[in-house]
Chains A and B, each alone.
Chain A
Amino acid sequence: MSHDIADATATDTRPAARAHTLQATPSVIAVQGLTKRYASGFEALKRIDLDIQRGEIFALLGPNGAGKTTLISIICGLVNASDGQVRVNGHDIVTDYRAAREQIGLVPQELTSDAFATVWNTVSFSRGLFGKRADSAHIERVLRSLSLWDKRRNKMITLSGGMKRRVLIAKALAHEPQILFLDEPTAGVDVELRRDMWDVVRQLRDQGVTVILTTHYIEEAEEMADRIGVINDGEIVLVEEKAALMRQLGRKRLRLDLQTPLAAIPETLAHYPLSLADDGNVLVYTYAASANEYSTPASISALLNDIEAAGVHFKDLHTEQSSLEEIFVNLVRKDA
């Protein structure tokens, strides 16, 4: 699968600029008070409110059984909601389901396929199902972009798991959706294919497709998403722009164990974000984890020089960082 460098750099510089444009556009999916109670009384979703912005990649993170798939299934029409409302580009998913669903492509978690149909036929079937005129040029483009062109005459049963996953993506793209749901797209997929999928998703986003993916790989959310939502036990625990989240969560702390406790931070060090801990025995310096994005690598050595010059001596030092994973686990645990 091709993915050129210009593309990659374009994506890297995007989030900050994107954040501004996103705020101006109305949400492409608006979920309000969505609740799902099964006949057994189990509440899979508890009054969920969520807005997905046009053109973003939104990652829905959560442990198994958190309600990720139920949420997607309701939006896509596979499961009935017990309460609440979902609008897709302003179209209610129940009363105006045709207009809502026309814009959505769904890649399910399970590798389900009609074993004896060929790749070409099953992808064309998907397009027809959405009421679109047959368009072999579009199907060819989709198959080529997913490296499936050589397999177009193969029956589904002859394909590997990774290839089947690609076919499911091709099926979801067959009707040129504006919104793509990927439910655990890289579960059980090898590293190389995972990178390929990420490339495909980025290309789609560059074409203006809104992508919502569920995952329990933190790495995936970190790599792909513009915004991250964490769902646990049927509730949205947090929704945040990834860049902001990384700024918040990606803070590092440098802790210096002092030889003699300080009563206050010396004047000459006042311009550093320093604080005292453990009755003045520890000097804490908080800084951004990602040096090239939020700070300069020189600042730590400058700080250490200035501390030396201020006559403060330390006997030991160590750094701490809270990762997305750590915060995620904390969020989920606190709730459980």
Chain B
Amino acid sequence: MRGEAFYRNLFRLMNEHFIGLKFLAVVWEQDQALTRFASSRIHQNVAERKVSLSVLATRDNKVALATSNDLTVSGLKTLREKLETMLEFATPLDYEFSLPEVSMGYPVENVAESLKKVSAEQRANIFDRMLKIATNDVQLFGYVSDSVTENVIISSNGTFLYQSFAGVYFNVVAMCDSASGYASGVAKSYDELSVDEKVERAVRFAKMSKNPVEIDPGSYTVILGPEAVSDLFMYFGWLCTNGYTHELKISPSAKYLGSRIGPNELNVYDDPTHPMQLPFVYDLCGKKREKMAIIENGVFKNVFYAHGAALRFNKKPTGHTLNLDDLDSSVPVNLVVDAGNTPVEEMLSDTKSGIYVNRFHYMNIVDPQEAIFTGMTRDGTFLIENGQLTKAVKNMRFNVKFFEFTQNIEAISKEIETVASEYFPQIAPYMKVQQFNFTSKTA
């Protein structure tokens, strides 16, 4: 990684070579490595090192964005030339645009020393550890990955912010014949990653998933594991918390914001300060990100405003500008679904009849107006009878209205886990939910 000193020099160079231009620049630099395995052998093993410098320039209320991975003086000159040409042809925005206010802060460094020089051999050792947990009749599929990221925000009005963060991630599907179990994990370093316990769970679920029974589609009481809960709330966060679409009334939030949508113990935050999260401290406009409630005591409390949406609708930006090429859209990237009051064992033992869902697969939005989501169950779906997981169930498709789903939450577990979702790590508990709607089954 180039480090803070290199970027302080870039700040100086940019202000030297971009004189007369109002700009906001964002650098992403990432060293990432990933070891992927299938059928209990490594089949893909990669490392990449890349950087990008994006410069948003503005003049006469017009904006243009140019990006390059050439950070030399000659690269900066080319970027400037490109921006000048683009600004010539760009047309003005329909609201008064201004760059974010000056933002200053201490460098934020969240990279464990042990992560700065991880070798492929060390990642492979984690894979070896996983193999020892699996028995001979179980095959493992998944990945182990680590990344170190530097993010720098520079502006013509004097902003210089530097943050670095790192994460290690894994997921594993354990296969026992055609039966499967799944687990994933995220931590700030390999020392903190709880691999063994989760791999053991995936293997146990795979063994329990043999000989699944077929059940009819319909409405069932379900207990959702943290992986499944995090998927539902990720889609909710993406679809329903964007202040821009809220103001245009083309978001479900137009109907539900301010309403009670679930029980008192339902609390959902975007929280970069949570100890189990990988914190993203500043947004790309340099706005310090803070813990913000999305759902508080069962009430849908807030939507978020990126820089452009805030200017346009006269709102305060909330620290959710994550793309310089889309200054309107906001996404909660440190999503935390908070713990409830019920131990998961009690949640299970209190369930006379229902279905346990470990994980969903390929979720999507069916109806963006009512937040109707669909998806399949996968890697560990079980019948619950008299408080016990008794039989594996063939995978089912669900279609649920998110805001009915939240009203039907009966219990939220005391236990929470960090899961490696497709995009950002998320923290979620187990949930017991009534009338969960399965609409078809697989072949």
A binds B: no
Query: Taking beta carbons and an 8 Å cutoff, which residues of B are in contact with A?
Result: none
